[in-house]
Structure 1
Amino acid sequence: MMTAVLLAFLPNTAQATASYPDPQPITGQQIIHDPTVIRLKSGQYVAYSTGGVIGARLSKDRVHWTDEGNAFPEPPSWWYEYNDTGDPWAPDISYRQGRYWLYYAVSSWGTNHSAIGVATSRSGLPGTWTDHGKVFSSETTDTWNAIDPAIIRADGRLWMSFGSYWTGIRMVELNPRTGKAAQNATVHHLATRPDAPYAVEGPYIVKHGRHYYLFASYDACCAGVNSTYKIRVGRSTSVTGPYVDSTGRPLLEGGGDLLLAGHGRFVGTGGESVFRDRGQDWLAYHYYDAEDNGTPKLGLNRLSWKKNGWPIVL
């Protein structure tokens, strides 16, 4: 477990805690990266993730998970504009207007020549998705990176947060009918770091009480047991910000309460999303298992809320 002494040396730590809870025990197929989870109308749980053509996992009880192949049988042709292998990243699943909506990113490591796409399905199951092409994109001339999408509805409007490095987390409004951004849509700025390379990515926003809470992954992923990923959070009364942590420090100035960091065998906790199941909020994320050669695995923890409104992982 992390000690309070060690935490004192972590930058921008607004939440003082000596330890972090382990993820809930799960069985079956545990390997995953950047998970997005939802309980389907059928009662099953599905998790989509980076890996394959958007890797798919299914569960009947949120404990035992099976490998169900990929969301798509093969990559849509336009993905190859962004990498040679048609490799998608960091999906986000949501439900509205009688359909499931799956957002995802296509890019190459180390570039912001990137795009976010969207597909829909009546059942949400792998193999049933119809792709609808690009939602929003970025080029090397932009100061943002169009990957890591996450959808939220706020005040009757539809919004997508996104971003990775390249000055951090951004947001655009979407057309609720098409699920895509309007041409020349305003790009709002939600969070960044004061120092290059601006290592914050993977946003996810939820509404609780009168506030919107922005969760994001800070520092380095994708390095097995050497990963330093951790999850921070800030809040705002407006979905477009400004977001601040519990000390009042803006997330645009490097703020953010530390919600979950690596501990013990659970290294580099991040790539998070939040889903609601039977009235309870759950945090889904990946960690690198130090007792299994740094293999990325699914972490699930209950997400609760303190009296002052701030989230806590149980």
Structure 2
Amino acid sequence: MNNILFSSIFCLLACNPSQNGVEANPEATYRNPVINRSMPDPTVIKADDGYFYLYATEDIRNMPIYRSKDLISWQFMGTVFTDQSRPTFEPNGGLWAPDINLINGKYVLYYSMSVWGGEQTCGIGVATADNPDGPFTDHGKLFRSNEIGVQNSIDPCFVEDNGKKYLFWGSFHGIYAIELSDDGLSLKPGAEKIQVAGTAYEGTYIHKHNGYYYLFASVGTCCEGLNSTYTTVVGRSKNLFGPYLDKQNNPMKDNRHEVLIRKNAKFVGTGHNSEIVQDEKGQDWMLYHAVSVDNPQGRVLMLDRIRWDNDWPLVLGSTPSLEAERPIF
């Protein structure tokens, strides 16, 4: 065999290992942020097509939709609404803090609509679609602050438990819950709101694990750039409506909690987490937003693994990772 032919064959095998029956190892780690543009208040769902779909507060007008196979690489898919289909119940209001769910075979997205400082007239609406990338049909408001009697009624979180459907919501004036109709598109007639946590919190997410309900929330200021103090916190309960307690059994109704994610030298304002989702290895992951010290424009999308210690969730170091092992997909 001449040297040129031998070199060509060697290069074919060495430079293209898949041709030799050996697949090249994919990159083992990822770096935060996973979307390096403003993507506040994320919510995520895994659809039947195998993609994760993510929605966020509308720094992209009409509320962005992204999708990903691995929680790391995200593709922009469009927006929930158009200028023509956009909700109108709060004139000049922004679309904030969505919450995506699959209810009775429909993709149901709850959203907040508010103007900054409009704490008496803001409210929560709902839209539906047959597919996670839309088109979404708006069904209008569920309620406004001055109708439900809860100031600053934003930040919805849908929960289905024991065959019943509930909405949790609230922002710095108490976290509340109320029962919904079976289709999730209206309040159940005669339903009464229940307060489940105190006035330090917003951005509620309820997660069930090993017989406990966990109330994740955010405290501090979300939107002051590098001065933002947002911090992700958590309490747990044996019952959906509480009492939610910290590790010393102090109640979240008294604004007591455990810190899950706080700032570090690279990221501040760490809060408003998404749902917890699992990879193929059964590892739990959470998306949230933060302000990047290196590029403090908006609130970028972060990802970190949730571990469990004695039935308490934790993020290593209680701060955002800079580089970490990727989810397994």
TM-score, normalization by structure 1: 0.83
- Asked whether the 8 Å contact 1:102–1:120 carries over to 2, the reply is yes
Greater shift, 213-222 or 33-42, is seen at 33-42
In the TM superposition, what is the alpha-carbon distance from 1:76 to its structure 2 partner?
4.2
In the TM superposition, what is the alpha-carbon distance from 1:187 to its structure 2 partner?
1.0
Is 1:38 the counterpart of 2:45? The answer is: yes
SS at match of 1:80: coil
- For these two proteins, the number of residue pairs brought into alignment is 283
* Residue of 55, 73, 76 corresponding to 1:67: 76
In the TM superposition, what is the alpha-carbon distance from 1:95 to its structure 2 partner?
1.4
After superposition, the C-alpha distances for 1:102-124 in whole angstroms (9 at most, x for unaligned) are 11011121223122111112221
Is 1:305 the counterpart of 2:299? The answer is: no
C-alpha distance in 2 between matches for 1:136 and 1:103: 12
SS at match of 1:69: strand
Alignment of 1:168-207 (within 5 A): 168-192=174-198, 198-207=199-208
Gaps of 5+ in 1: 1-22, 193-197
Alignment of 1:15-54 (within 5 A): 24-25=31-32, 30-51=37-58, 52-54=61-63
Gaps of 5+ in 2: 1-29, 317-329
C-alpha distance in 2 between matches for 1:238 and 1:88: 31
SS at match of 1:272: coil
C-alpha distance in 2 between matches for 1:75 and 1:286: 29
- Asked whether the 8 Å contact 1:144–1:170 carries over to 2, the reply is no
In the TM superposition, what is the alpha-carbon distance from 1:310 to its structure 2 partner?
0.8
In the TM superposition, what is the alpha-carbon distance from 1:158 to its structure 2 partner?
0.9
Which structure has the highest helix share of the two? 2
- Asked whether the 8 Å contact 1:105–1:149 carries over to 2, the reply is yes
SS at match of 2:253: helix
Greater shift, 265-274 or 67-76, is seen at 67-76
After superposition, the C-alpha distances for 1:199-232 in whole angstroms (9 at most, x for unaligned) are 4211000111111100000011111111000011
C-alpha distance in 1 between matches for 2:148 and 2:216: 27
Which structure has the highest strand share of the two? 1
C-alpha distance in 2 between matches for 1:152 and 1:160: 6
What corresponds to 2:278 in structure 1?
A: 277
What corresponds to 2:88 in structure 1?
A: 80
C-alpha distance in 2 between matches for 1:28 and 1:227: 19
Tell me the amino acid that sits aligned with residue 187 of structure 1.
Answer: K
Greater shift, 90-99 or 225-234, is seen at 90-99
After superposition, the C-alpha distances for 1:136-183 in whole angstroms (9 at most, x for unaligned) are 3221893433210011111111111100022x2111111122432134
In the TM superposition, what is the alpha-carbon distance from 1:28 to its structure 2 partner?
5.7
- Asked whether the 8 Å contact 1:24–1:299 carries over to 2, the reply is no
TM-score, normalization by structure 2: 0.80
Is 1:146 the counterpart of 2:153? The answer is: yes
C-alpha distance in 1 between matches for 2:143 and 2:65: 24
What corresponds to 1:265 in structure 2?
A: 266
- Asked whether the 8 Å contact 1:235–1:244 carries over to 2, the reply is yes
What corresponds to 1:157 in structure 2?
A: 164
What corresponds to 1:232 in structure 2?
A: 233
In the TM superposition, what is the alpha-carbon distance from 1:58 to its structure 2 partner?
2.0
The structure with the largest alpha-carbon Rg is 2
The Cα RMSD (Å) is: 2.2
